[in-house]
Amino acid sequence: MKIITIGLITGLLVLTAYIVISDVTNFETDAERINSIYSETEIFSEAPYSGNTDEKAQHLIIIAKDSWKPGCEVDDLCFLPYEKTINAGETVLFVNEDEFEHNVRLRGDPNYLHFPTDVIRQNEYFVYKFYEMGEYQYHCTLHPWMEGVINIR
């Protein structure tokens, strides 16, 4: 009975990961998905007074559906992708596709990337420009298991 239960749980986790990844990869590139987010104004909106630039984003990070629940961190599926590499001076659009509010803060920094807004609601986004090279670890303070990494070269 234990083997069957473990097999079913494993199968459900694999299926869930496949569905989440399939939802994200239905778009061929970040640019196509970003354009979709910008154009679908009846669904997505910019978080008030957020981010550090008005420039159009070049890269995308999604706050995944159901990331408010512990478990997404097991396969690094809370922020999609978990790790992203960009060039200094490029911009990232963070969009919340979860049903719950989240925030994004760099490790060791007291401010949110979307300062002064304290949360990003469902279907809200903000754009952040990274200026300096390095590895930036970030997380959601409301759901501390949610973590990601941005490498700036």
Whether 23 is in a domain gets the answer no
**Phi-psi sector, 134: left (phi>0), alpha (psi -120 to 50), beta:** left
114: annotated binding-site residue? Answer: no
78: annotated binding-site residue? Answer: no
Mean pLDDT of the chain: 87
Q: What is the CATH number of the domain that holds 91?
A: 2.60.40.420
Measured between alpha carbons, how far is 42 from 138 in angstroms, rounded to an integer?
29
Whether 105 is in a domain gets the answer yes
Whether 55 is in a domain gets the answer yes
Whether 6 is in a domain gets the answer no
Measured between alpha carbons, how far is 26 from 76 in angstroms, rounded to an integer?
19
146: annotated binding-site residue? Answer: yes
- Per-residue pLDDT tens digits for 71-111: 999 999 999 999 999 999 999 999 999 999 999 999 999 88
pLDDT above 70 (res 148): yes
- Tell which residue, 115, 69, 70, 73, has the closest CA to residue 94: 115
Segment 4-11 shows an average pLDDT of 55
Residue 73 is part of which domain span? 28-152
pLDDT above 70 (res 50): yes
Separation in Å, CA 11 to CA 4, 5, 18: 10, 10, 11
- Per-residue pLDDT tens digits for 100-131: 999 999 999 988 888 878 899 999 999 999 99
Whether 122 is in a domain gets the answer yes
pLDDT above 60 (res 65): yes
| DSSP secondary structure letter of residue 28 | S
Query: Looking at residue 99, what is its pLDDT?
Result: 97
102: annotated binding-site residue? Answer: yes
Query: Looking at residue 5, what is its pLDDT?
Result: 53
Structural domains in the chain (count): 1
Tally of helices (H runs) and strands (E runs) in the chain: 2, 9
